[in-house]
Chain A
Amino acid sequence: MCDICGCVGGTNHVHVAGPAIHGAKGRPVEIMQSLLHDNNHQAAHNRGHFDAAGVFVVNLMSSPGSGKTSLLETTIRALRGSLTVAVIEGDLETENDARRIREAGARAVQITTGNACHLDAAMVHAALHALDLRGVDILFIENVGNLVCPASFDLGQHRNVVLLSVTEGDDKPEKYPVMFRAADLVAVTKLDLMDAVGDFEPARAENHLRKLASDAPMLKLSARSGTGLRLWIDWLVSELKTKSHGPGALQAAIHG
Chain B
Amino acid sequence: MHELSICTALLARVLDVAAAEGGKQVSNITLCIGPLSGVEPDQLRLAFPIVARGTPCEGAEINIECAPVQVHCKTCGETSVARPNRLLCAACGAWRVSLISGDEMRLLRIELPDAACANTELSHV
* A interface list, Cβ under 8 A from B: 2, 4-7, 9, 13-22, 24-39, 116-118, 120, 148-149, 151-153, 173-175, 177-179, 181, 208, 210-213, 215
Interface residues of chain B: helix, strand, loop or mixed (majority) = mixed
Is B36 a contact partner of A178 (Cβ separation < 8 A)? yes
Contact across chains for B112 and A36 when beta carbons are under 8 A apart: no
Residues of A within 8 Å of B87, CB to CB, are 177, 211-213
Which residues of B, 19-43, contact A by the 8 Å Cβ criterion? 21-23, 27-28, 31, 36-39
User: Chain A contacts of B112 at CB under 8 A?
Assistant: 26-27, 29
- Nearest CB of chain A from residue B69's CB, rounded to whole Å: 10
Interface residues of B in 31-60 (CB under 8 A from A): 31, 36-39
Q: How far, in angstroms, from A215 to B23 measured CA to CA in the complex? A: 47
Complex interface: chain B residues within 8 A of A33 (CB) = 13, 106-107
Q: Within the assembled complex, what's the spacing in Å between the Cα atoms of A34 and B6?
A: 10
User: Of the candidates B21, B27, B116, which one forms a contact with A5 in the assembled complex, judged by CB atoms under 8 Å apart?
Assistant: B116
In angstroms, Cα B3 to Cα A153, docked, is: 12
Chain A residue with minimal CB distance to B14? A31
- 19 additional A-B residue pairs with CB within 8 Å, beyond A36-B9, A210-B95: A5-B123, A5-B124, A6-B115, A7-B124, A15-B124, A16-B123, A16-B125, A21-B123, A26-B28, A27-B114, A31-B110, A35-B6, A39-B9, A117-B2, A118-B2, A118-B5, A149-B38, A152-B105, A213-B87
Pair B109/A30 contact, Cβ less than 8 Å? yes
Is the beta-carbon distance between A17 and B37 smaller than 8 angstroms? no
Cβ contact within 8 Å between B111 and A25: yes
**Nearest-CB distance from B70 to chain A (Å)?**
12
- Docked Cα-Cα span, A153 to B111, in Å, equals 27
CA distance A19 to B13 in the complex (A): 31
- Check B17 for interface membership: any CB of A closer than 8 A: yes
- Bound complex: CA of A183 vs CA of B15, how far in Å? 34
In the bound complex, CA of A29 to CA of B109 (Å): 5
User: Contacts A16-B125, A212-B85 known; A29 to B2 CB distance under 8 Å?
Assistant: no
**Bound complex: CA A178 to CA B92 (Å):** 24
